[in-house]
Amino acid sequence: MSTSTVAATCRDLMQVYPSAAGPVPALRGIDATFPVGSVTVVIGPSGAGKSTFLRLLACLEQPAAGELQIDGRSTANLSGRARRRLAASKVGYVFQRPADNLLDYLDVREHVNLAARMRSSRDRSVDDLLTTTGLAEVASRRPNDLSAGEQQRLAFAMAVVGQPALVIADEPSAELDPAATDALVALLPRLTARGQTFVISSHDPAVVTIADQLLVIQNGALAARAERAGEAPLAVIDEAGRVQLPDEAVTLFSEGRVRIVIDGGEVRMEAP
């Protein structure tokens, strides 16, 4: 594992896809840095370029332009094979649908072992990881015998085993119920505590609340970036301008109404 404090960086990352009508720009130059042990949540409307951005970060595609460094290693000019190797050793990936991450003929422990050995990892902490992810009790079960939440936690366990520099998750909670989402959200801090770095695409407010960094992508470009200041949680403003407040903030407005005061560069919320 690298001793660097940055797991990955990208500079002016661009991607263009061919189409019948001519080249279509999917990403128009994105700069971002992903500190070790952080959770970055990427949000944006459908078709904004989130998935393309994640695929580039996961080394599944070669960017049309720009630079991407993972664990201090540039991905520019890498052959397909070298890119695959880098992705296998340095990047973990979690699909949106829990079942898509798993093989139906392996049990939980075999899945994690497989991921570790595919990553050529000597990580002996498979049992600890199963405990951390709450899967120790179902270690001998196969995917069909797991709930969707357990399946997705197993997918995260597979993604983090062997300590890859970066773990990418594409809408990991989209198919989970609130309880399973909460369990997943609760898991992420435990994994970041192990030094794991996450880049997650999500619209789920529960996921966004634990983000250390928030990237808003619109029309293939970085529309906004927000970072957690101290312990202050981040909130998402959707396209309609709505924002979800943390629970402790909501209790301050017992009447269910709020007055918005714009004062210079600040926005204040006051009880009416």
Question: Can residue 61 be called a binding residue for another protein (CB under 8 A)?
Answer: yes
CB of 99 to another protein, least distance (A): 8
Applying CB under 8 A, which of residues 5, 11, 74, 84 lies at the interface with another protein? Answer: 84
Question: Can residue 87 be called a binding residue for another protein (CB under 8 A)?
Answer: yes
Largest CA distance in the chain: 61
Applying CB under 8 A, which of residues 47, 74, 100, 250 lies at the interface with another protein? Answer: 100
For 164, phi then psi, to 5°, come to -65, 155
Applying CB under 8 A, which of residues 117, 194, 259, 268 lies at the interface with another protein? Answer: 117
Q: How many residues bind another protein (CB under 8 A)?
A: 32
Question: Can residue 62 be called a binding residue for another protein (CB under 8 A)?
Answer: yes
For residues 6 and 17, the answer to whether their CB atoms sit within 8 Å is: no
Q: Would you tell me how many other CB atoms lie within 10 Å of the CB of residue 26?
A: 21
Within 146-185, the residues that bind another protein by CB under 8 A are: 158
Q: Which two tokens stand for residue 33?
A: 């840095």
Within 179-208, the residues that bind another protein by CB under 8 A are: none
Q: Which is nearer to another protein, 165 or 208 (CB)?
A: 165
- CA 80/CA 186 separation, integer angstroms: 36
Question: Can residue 83 be called a binding residue for another protein (CB under 8 A)?
Answer: yes
Q: Which is nearer to another protein, 146 or 210 (CB)?
A: 146
- CA 103/CA 151 separation, integer angstroms: 11
Question: Strands of 6-17's sheet, edge to edge?
Answer: 24-35, 6-17, 65-70, 73-74
Say what the alpha-carbon torsion angle 206, 207, 211, 214 is, to the nearest 10 degrees.
-100
Q: Which is nearer to another protein, 16 or 234 (CB)?
A: 16
Within 31-60, the residues that bind another protein by CB under 8 A are: 55, 58, 60
Question: Can residue 140 be called a binding residue for another protein (CB under 8 A)?
Answer: no
- CA 161/CA 152 separation, integer angstroms: 14
For 176, phi then psi, to 5°, come to -105, 150
Positions touching another protein (CB under 8 A) are: 17-19, 55, 58, 60-62, 80-81, 83-85, 87-89, 93, 99-103, 105-106, 110, 114-115, 117-120, 158
